[in-house]
């Protein structure tokens, strides 16, 4: 009886060993998430040269898109819990607290997408920020803005944002287009009524699951290009998931040296203590602590004051 029990356990273990590795791989997603086909330049189209905008059809596989959305959903929920204390809207809080940034090389799927982005843009991975995942629900939009910075603080780490790769993780039924209102010659882009009204105000790219847009916010000589103004049109029907990847002119991975300084020892936001408790002093040092000559927003809560 006892022997049979042991044999049964052994048999179960053996059967399990065949399954366990698959399940483990499933956990981090490396092998179960089918990758997109290898880089294929005929899938890339230049849609504008002023500013420089390119669209890559099928940059991500459906499975990769779904995987990123799943990762993001976990983080969104975490952010919501933290945010309801402040009473602020989830999206804006998420931005400030960078609650929806994935880690770099977080898992094999994220790693291979980051490698693909580097291969497409010819820009090193270390120049890029962590991938961000955004969700736009009905009516949500992003007013036209520039990805390069006007202030000096944000340029301390990695310099200006040079290029943006915007990946669409879902197909939006209506609205949600990426629109470039300053693109030269946008008026000649043919548009039928499947484009939203907002999209008729500039060169528009429809969000299609798996497609990606690459555009440059600086001219090749490093001067900001105001034609790179862009926004996200309101979502009219469906839900938009997108993943921007911002790439700087220099390495973004080596954080700047932050000098200790007794001046300006104050919090500039009522949320500083909360953000500090969530580890933002370490994760977002330029914003929270500051850099040479540019004190951050939460010096007090980050304990960088001498007294």
Ligand X SMILES: *[C@@H]1O[C@H](CO)[C@@H](O)[C@H](O)[C@H]1NC(C)=O
Interacting residue ranges for ligand X, rule: CB under 6 A: 37, 40, 42-43, 81, 84-85
Cβ 107 to ligand X shortest distance, Å: 26
CB closer to ligand X out of 70 and 84: 84
Cβ 303 to ligand X shortest distance, Å: 27
CB closer to ligand X out of 43 and 250: 43
Cβ 33 to ligand X shortest distance, Å: 20
C-alpha distance from residue 41 to each of 53, 110, 167, 243 (Å)? 15, 21, 17, 21
CB closer to ligand X out of 82 and 235: 82
What would the 3-class secondary structure string for 246-303 be? EEECCCCCCCCCCCCCCCCCCECCCCHHHHHHCCHHHHCHHHHCEECCEECCECCCCC
CB closer to ligand X out of 81 and 220: 81
The set of residues, in sequence order, having a beta carbon less than 8 Å from that of 109 and lying 6+ positions away, is: 29, 30, 33, 64, 67, 68
CB closer to ligand X out of 51 and 210: 210
CB closer to ligand X out of 58 and 224: 58
Cβ 193 to ligand X shortest distance, Å: 27
CB closer to ligand X out of 85 and 103: 85
Cβ 86 to ligand X shortest distance, Å: 9
Cβ 56 to ligand X shortest distance, Å: 10
Cβ 115 to ligand X shortest distance, Å: 18
Cβ 46 to ligand X shortest distance, Å: 15
CB closer to ligand X out of 40 and 254: 40
């Amino acid at each position: 009886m006892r022997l049979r029990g042991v044999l049964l356990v052994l048999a179960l273990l053996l059967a399990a060993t065949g399954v366990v590795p698959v399940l483990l791989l499933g956990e981090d997603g490396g092998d179960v998430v089918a990758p997109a086909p290898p880089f294929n330049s005929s899938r890339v189209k230049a849609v504008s040269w002023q500013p420089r905008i390119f669209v890559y059809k099928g940059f991500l596989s459906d499975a990769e898109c779904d995987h990123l959305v799943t990762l993001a959903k976990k983080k969104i929920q975490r952010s919501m819990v933290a945010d309801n204390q402040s009473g602020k809207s989830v999206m804006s809080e998420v931005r400030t607290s960078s609650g929806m940034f994935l880690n770099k090389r977080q898992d094999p799927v994220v790693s291979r997408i980051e490698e693909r982005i580097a291969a497409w843009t010819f820009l090193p991975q270390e120049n890029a920020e962590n991938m961000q995942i955004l969700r736009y629900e009905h009516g949500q939009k992003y007013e036209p803005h520039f990805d390069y910075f006007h202030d000096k603080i944000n340029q301390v780490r990695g310099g200006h944002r040079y290029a943006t790769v915007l990946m669409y993780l879902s197909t939006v039924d209506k609205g949600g287009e990426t629109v470039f209102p300053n693109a030269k010659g946008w008026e000649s882009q043919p548009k039928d009524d499947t484009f939203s009204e907002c999209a008729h105000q500039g060169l528009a790219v429809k969000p299609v699951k798996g497609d990606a847009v690459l555009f440059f916010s600086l001219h090749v000589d490093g001067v900001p290009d105001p034609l790179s103004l862009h926004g996200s049109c309101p979502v009219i029907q469906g839900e938009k998931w997108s993943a921007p990847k911002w790439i700087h002119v220099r390495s973004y991975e080596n954080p700047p040296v932050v000098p200790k300084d007794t001046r300006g020892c104050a919090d500039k936001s009522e949320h500083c203590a909360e953000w500090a408790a969530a580890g933002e002093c370490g994760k977002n040092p330029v914003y929270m602590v500051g850099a040479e000559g540019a004190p951050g927003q939460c010096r007090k809560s980050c304990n960088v004051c001498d007294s």
